[in-house]
Amino acid sequence: MVGRRVPRTLLVAVAARANLAEEAVLEALEDAGRARLLGEAGEDGYQFTHDLIREVLLTDLGTARRALLHRRVAEVLEATVPAPAVTVLAYHYAQSDEQDKAILYLEQAGDAARTRYAQTEAESAYREVITRLETLGRGAQTAAVSEKLGMMLALQARYDEALLTLERTGEVYRVEGDLEGEVRALAQIGRIHRWRGTSKEGLTRLLPLLARLPKASASRGAAAFYAALAYLYKGVGQYSEQLAAAEQAAALARASGDDYILTTAQERRAAALLALGRLEETCRALTDEVIPASEATGNLWTLITAHDNLAGAYEFLGDYQQSRACLEQAIALDERLGDPAEMAYLLYGRGLNAFALGEWQQARPDFERAATFVGSTGQFWYATYPPHGLGLLCLAEGREEEAAHYLKEALTLAQRNHDLQALCWVQGALAEWDLLSGRPEAARVRLAPLLDAPGLMASYSREALALLPWAYLGLGEADQAQALLVQVISTARQARMGPTLVQALRVQALVLSKQERWEEAEQALQEALTLCRGMAAPYAEAKTLYTAGLVSHKKGELEPARQRFEAALTILERLGERLYARSIEQLLGQGEHQ
């Protein structure tokens, strides 16, 4: 009942509660030893000589007697051991007839498991507590524990189960007139809709409650509610609204003294700044506020997200090494947390980083591993990204059939999830393919709708939008191309977005060469090449050399054009690239026949 080995002091104390004298207990133990049922285990304990003996004795005990003994063991442990393990107390009281103590320690055992990030163990404990509370008809207590269960399910990416649990919880609070509880439950529902890829649904669910929230009320529930709105606004590309909701959540968290939610709100604010292209502010907010506060409060989820967003900011700045360091930290932390959905996105991010740095042999296993997490977790908003990564890599390697399959899958998921970031990246990859294949109209059709998207000129959209002027140029619309380039280049310079600026400068050189403004075209190319080499981005450098070759060729400088094409081809061959390489080989072949 207590285990195979039992301390003597525990046996004596339990027997004393049955009014058995210590001397009698010791005599009984000696008799059991002579009968070879028990053996001494060290100087202060006993153990069964065989597990079968223990099993037979347990079987012979009646249910009532077993429950009584479990209660007495738990009471002794509770009264005499300075810090008994809650899991042990939970076990013994759960086998006894002491319902209140069983509920108390089972919930504490679940909380302890949650602190260790043992999600399935916590889930099991919370479920048992809920079953007992429902039997006793304690609705409010049941709802409070159901909140915890909902988050444990969400952290395992079991979003539908989590939503069902939390919707029931919110209804209990609503019926009982507990607005604070209802707001807390809805806040969790909102966050889960974001992770599930159903942010529009989440906003529809949460926004009606705003009118019922007291304007001056500062509570934990209200702070969590506004933080959830910040998550949802991010999911639909409303970044100004996200920023406002995050700032309101932070103000309410400060007023209510909740540092945990304050840290979450500050991280959501930084995520909004990132999407709005305010990269230096993003980095300061994350490094100076969010990461230290997350570490201090033990907010592991927010700490992971903060490192991920910091990696994104560095990626947009073109600081790929710093970005990788942040991703490695986030991945190590998520291995502790055990969130499969977040791990899928982090591995995708590391694969994208390796792709930019020309380390394609590392990129593929990261993309593939990310895809396995997607396959095991079902619907969530990160699901779009692994097929995008695999499609991008297959396209660059010239594996067009596979690329088409993956990019089509990514596009379908991005549209289903209303994920503007993913939509920009997938359409950007497909548009670049169209442009190199001589299909500028197809590229325009893909990219022009981005101009009307809510996240226009968001940090993630600008690199894809820099390709749209190339499509305009191919359609003979040089003035329209130049007008958009001015906007993209201006915002990229202001935000110091290296990769986007390189993309825009490449297209700018093509527009300028069309106008025979050769010197300005050359200046644009040289700036782009300098940026590429500073970022250690070989694929971007090869693309820029390809563009430089086109400009030289258009100018009639065939030998410089050949040299630039060959320099690009050298890099591409090292990478194993075929998309641009095929175009260059065709151009070099034409030159040989001139």
509 & 554 share domain: no
Cα(133)–Cα(226) distance, rounded to whole angstroms? 30
Q: What is the Cβ-side half-sphere exposure of residue 112, based on CA atoms within 13 angstroms?
A: 14
- Confidence (pLDDT) at 312: 96
> Is there a domain that residue 289 lies in?
no
User: How many domains does the structure of the chain reveal?
Assistant: 5
- Confidence (pLDDT) at 213: 79
How would residue 68 be classed by pLDDT, with cut points 50, 70 and 90?
A: low
> Is there a domain that residue 459 lies in?
yes
Element at 6 (helix H, strand E): strand 5-7
434 & 475 share domain: yes
> Is there a domain that residue 187 lies in?
yes
pLDDT at 476 over 80: yes
DSSP assignment, residue 217?
A: -
Give the residue from 235, 251, 266 where a domain finishes: 266
- 291-322 in b/e burial notation, b at 16+ Cβ within 10 A? bebbeebebbbbbbbbbbbbbbbbbbbbbbeb
Range of the domain at 7: 1-60
Give the residue from 249, 266, 283 where a domain finishes: 266
548 & 447 share domain: no
Q: Which two tokens stand for residue 183?
A: 């707001």
- What average pLDDT score do residues 134-142 get? 92
pLDDT at 237 over 50: yes
Show the 3-state SS of 442-466: HHHHHHHHHHHCCCCCCCCCHHHHC
> Is there a domain that residue 293 lies in?
no
Contacts of 308 (CB under 8 A, 6+ apart): 326, 327, 330, 342, 345, 346, 349
Cα(519)–Cα(119) distance, rounded to whole angstroms? 62
- CATH number, domain of 227, equals 1.25.40.10
- What average pLDDT score do residues 374-398 get? 87
Q: Which two tokens stand for residue 244?
A: 């406002």
Residue with tokens 């967003």: 309
Cα(544)–Cα(494) distance, rounded to whole angstroms? 22
The pTM for the full model equals: 0.85
430 & 460 share domain: yes
48 vs 150, residue with greater confidence:
150
423 & 517 share domain: yes
- Confidence (pLDDT) at 117: 87
> Is there a domain that residue 360 lies in?
no
Residue in 267, 261, 362, 365 with CA at minimum distance from that of residue 308: 267
Q: Which two tokens stand for residue 357?
A: 């740095």
Show the 3-state SS of 59-80: HHCCHHHHHHHHHHHHHHHHHH
190 & 95 share domain: no
> Is there a domain that residue 326 lies in?
no
Cα(367)–Cα(352) distance, rounded to whole angstroms? 8
- What average pLDDT score do residues 530-543 get? 98
Count of beta carbons in the 10 Å neighbourhood of residue 115: 11
77 & 22 share domain: no
Q: Which two tokens stand for residue 467?
A: 């390709």
> Is there a domain that residue 237 lies in?
yes
181 & 222 share domain: yes
Residue 40 dihedral angles phi and psi, to the nearest 5° = -70, 140
- Contact criterion met (CB below 8 Å) for 475 and 442: no
Amino acid (one-letter) located at 512: L
Cα(221)–Cα(224) distance, rounded to whole angstroms? 5
424 & 491 share domain: yes
Cα(159)–Cα(381) distance, rounded to whole angstroms? 11
- Confidence (pLDDT) at 56: 47
Cα(501)–Cα(531) distance, rounded to whole angstroms? 9
> Is there a domain that residue 253 lies in?
yes
198 & 104 share domain: no
Q: What percent of the chain has pLDDT over 90?
A: 69
101 & 45 share domain: no
Q: Which two tokens stand for residue 589?
A: 């072949």
Residue in 361, 360, 352 with CA at minimum distance from that of residue 314: 352
12-21, 27-36, 50-59: range with lowest mean pLDDT: 50-59
Q: What is the gyration radius of the CA atoms in the chain, in angstroms? A: 31
How would residue 365 be classed by pLDDT, with cut points 50, 70 and 90?
A: very high
Q: What percent of the chain has pLDDT over 70?
A: 82
Show the 3-state SS of 283-333: HHHHHHHHHHHHHHHCCHHHHHHHHHHHHHHHHHHCCHHHHHHHHHHHHHH
User: For residue range 566-590, what is the model confidence (pLDDT) as tens digits?
Assistant: 999 999 999 999 999 999 999 998 7
Cα(217)–Cα(226) distance, rounded to whole angstroms? 12
- Contact criterion met (CB below 8 Å) for 185 and 172: no
- Confidence (pLDDT) at 484: 94
42 vs 517, residue with greater confidence:
517
43-52, 471-480, 520-529: range with lowest mean pLDDT: 43-52
How would residue 378 be classed by pLDDT, with cut points 50, 70 and 90?
A: low
494 & 551 share domain: no
The 38-40 sheet, strands edge to edge: 5-7, 45-48, 38-40
14 vs 176, residue with greater confidence:
176
Q: Which two tokens stand for residue 150?
A: 């909902």
User: For residue range 102-133, what is the model confidence (pLDDT) as tens digits?
Assistant: 888 899 999 999 988 899 999 999 999 999 99
178-192, 261-275, 536-550, 577-591: range with lowest mean pLDDT: 577-591
- Confidence (pLDDT) at 215: 58
Integer angstrom CA distances of residue 120 from 116, 127, 153, 377, 492: 11, 10, 8, 15, 46
Give the residue from 525, 551, 582 where a domain finishes: 525
- Contact criterion met (CB below 8 Å) for 306 and 267: yes
pLDDT at 512 over 60: yes
